[in-house]
Chain A
């Protein structure tokens, strides 16, 4: 007798003359949004309509699944089985792993159904119950090759699992081989994951082998998993070619959207070759070629595909940084996947895609952080279901900000990106001495060390630390990052100090790449070739300075402290372009002008206004200033500053080429009558930084970057504001000017921040602190001359009209 299943109206043979038998997959709240909405609304007619639609589009069997968080599966199943039994010609596949539900609905079905599904995940208890039911009601069963060890990935594992199930179902429970449809599972070949490149081959080989070794059994397969992660248009083609290949080796039924299967003949020779290259792993570039080719194919609106598969929905959530309904979705996915596989096979490839989009300039940093939040929240949700996060296999990284440096955010962004791409990160904090790094690296046996730092001094410290690492016998590659580093410095000064690879990382994604290279044994030390052209040294070009310019009158000599500053007015001085595009990363990139305007109006400005309100209402800003005016005179490249009977010397570099500018030149010599100089140290306090840290600690990565960025620009706004107050006090400006003038230095004089190119020596903070004693407003210096709290900035204020920014 030919194996068949039946509805009230007809029998359908499992082995069709022209295989495969198509099983409609849309009556599933996890796979179809339309079905989910109908189900949640108890709209049974709409549910039925979806079933009938599939029949109309060619489905010969209908999968029916109603398991959804918060719903009563048994009651819903009962309702719909009754309804479908009377109306659908296609026999039903009862998709449930609950023996109770199956026991309740099998007697209701007036035909021969298929149960979907059994497996050995729990060792066989559930399988025993369901096989007993199958035997009793004469149903067929789908069997997934999942065992206590997880999903079977390799051909050998699949075959072994199938044999185990066969032994139980056939030999123990007395089902006939033809009553079993093995789903040998398939995984995507679209993730770029090295170990999954042969996923299609493993599945196809397993079908062949099981067919041979367990004669008479049938097969089914969730074909579209093969292309998970790829673009919709591309998936349709790849799924169809894969289905064709699977049928050729013996697949007799497939769970698919019947409407989305392309006839093999309708697929061009070129498309077929690209698909076959990818499926059979015929060349290393197969995936790249495939993606490139289909990238050009018709752009279907992927978001519109409301009925996307569950796995696809998760990918979308990650790509869109959308946390709505995330836990429901993950609960559903847990019915199909092991928690660890959800992480490694679904989430991690999606994050990889996020990184690639960012790399191509198609995704902005704030959105990347939102994606990372989705990843993090998913992992937190799944963690209780994992025996323990298996750390053994994962590459581990030790992250630290070097001694004397309190800069946290660069390192933390790296932590966010790495840990949410599946790596194990030990973030051991700021101001970490080399000795601690060495002992921690040994203790934790990490694979890689990453160092971060904000200032030039930290870069120099990294160089020294590497010698210590070498002497201490460390063998891990070291990744270096931070604002003051350059590839040149790393290649010339750091690489020679340490035997293993030392790599410059411009940003967190460069770090991610380096780790991937490490994993494939390709990580090399940074190499630097001198550029053919050197960077220009912009600055005012007039070499002739007006030496006769008299010093302004100042209201006092010496230092003063100001603490009653209205925080609200700082926002008038805030550089929005730098905040939005620079700090926040809302760059226009490839967007059209109108689209960028819309992004600004709908996303960026509302965010800015929200933060502004909150910052003011909740007292996050405590602007404080210490400043002063002092008699001084220049002497060559030196500036001698007098404070009562104390004298301090500041040294400034001179441009080596014409016009040979040097800050000292803007001030008169003793012979010319001397001059007056201003200084300030301003800070917005530590409160905002505290809030920022809390956001990081509660995994709100996006808000973390946003608030940090706001703090940075408010610090600069405070400097801008105070510089203006000083100009007004000196009588070189009457009132505040328009914002653009601040950006372009459309005012008299200039403020130069120590550490910036015209006065690069940060050690000048030492005499500066003696002059101004910023300790009184809560600002201190680290041994690297970094100011704490971080949101602090200092400057020397020069009144000369020709003084503008320049680089030495």
Chain B
């Protein structure tokens, strides 16, 4: 499931991963490492909303 940052609109898509945080494709949102923040606005994961 994709998640959207409520602060800036960035979408975390597990199919794509997140190169800015060196997250390879296939990592579910819930499995992102502790300390992970939005690559664009640095908001913490509790600022994200489920998208799908």
Contacts and interface: CB of A to CB of B under 8 A. Distances in A.
Interface of A: 531-536, 538-541, 575-578, 581-582, 587-589, 593, 743-745, 757, 804-807
Nearest to B44: A535
A536 B39 CA distance: 9
A314 B6 CA distance: 33
24 contacts: A531-B35, A535-B42, A536-B35, A538-B18, A538-B21, A538-B39, A538-B40, A539-B20, A540-B20, A541-B19, A541-B22, A578-B6, A578-B8, A582-B8, A582-B47, A587-B49, A588-B49, A588-B50, A743-B9, A744-B10, A744-B40, A805-B39, A806-B20, A807-B37
B37 A593 contact: no
Contacts of B8: 575, 577-578, 582, 743
A745 B40 contact: yes
A577 B41 CA distance: 13
A534 B40 contact: no
A807 B35 contact: no
Interface of B: 4-10, 18-22, 33-40, 42, 44, 47, 49-50, 52
A745 to B, nearest CB: 7
B43 to A, nearest CB: 9
Residue from A538, A541, A744 whose CB has the most chain B CB atoms within 10 Å: A538
A577 B49 CA distance: 10
B23 to A, nearest CB: 9
Per CB-CB distance, the 4 closest pairs between chain A and chain B, nearest first, are A577-B9, A581-B6, A538-B39, A538-B20
A744 B12 CA distance: 11
Nearest to B49: A588
Nearest to A585: B6
Contacts of A582: 6-8, 47
A805 B20 CA distance: 9
Contacts of A581: 4, 6, 49
Given A581-B6, A743-B8, A535 B35 contact: yes
Nearest to B1: A593
A801 to B, nearest CB: 15
A129 B44 CA distance: 68
A590 to B, nearest CB: 10
B49 A538 contact: no
Contacts of A806: 20
B42 A589 contact: no
Given A540-B20, A588-B49, A743-B40, A577 B6 contact: yes
A540 to B, nearest CB: 7
Contacts of B18: 538
Contact of A535 (B4, B20, B37): B37
A167 B34 CA distance: 72
Contacts of B21: 536, 538
Contact of B20 (A541, A589, A593): A541
A581 B6 CA distance: 5
B6 A587 contact: yes
A534 B34 CA distance: 8
Nearest to A804: B20
Nearest to B52: A593
A535 B35 CA distance: 4
Residue from B8, B33, B36, B47 whose CB has the most chain A CB atoms within 10 Å: B8
Contacts of A535: 35, 37, 42, 44
A757 B49 contact: no
Contacts of B42: 535, 538, 757, 807
A536 B9 contact: no
A438 to B, nearest CB: 36
A575 B37 CA distance: 20
Contacts of A744: 10, 40
B24 to A, nearest CB: 12
Contacts of A807: 37, 42
B52 to A, nearest CB: 7
A288 B39 CA distance: 40
B50 to A, nearest CB: 6
A577 B37 CA distance: 18
Contacts of B40: 538, 743-745, 805
Nearest to B40: A805
A576 B38 CA distance: 17
Nearest to A578: B9
B4 to A, nearest CB: 6
A577 B20 contact: no
Contacts of A577: 4-6, 8-9
Contacts of A540: 19-20
A593 B39 CA distance: 25
B7 to A, nearest CB: 5
Contact of A578 (B7, B19, B20, B52): B7
Contacts of A538: 18, 20-21, 37-40, 42
Nearest to B7: A582
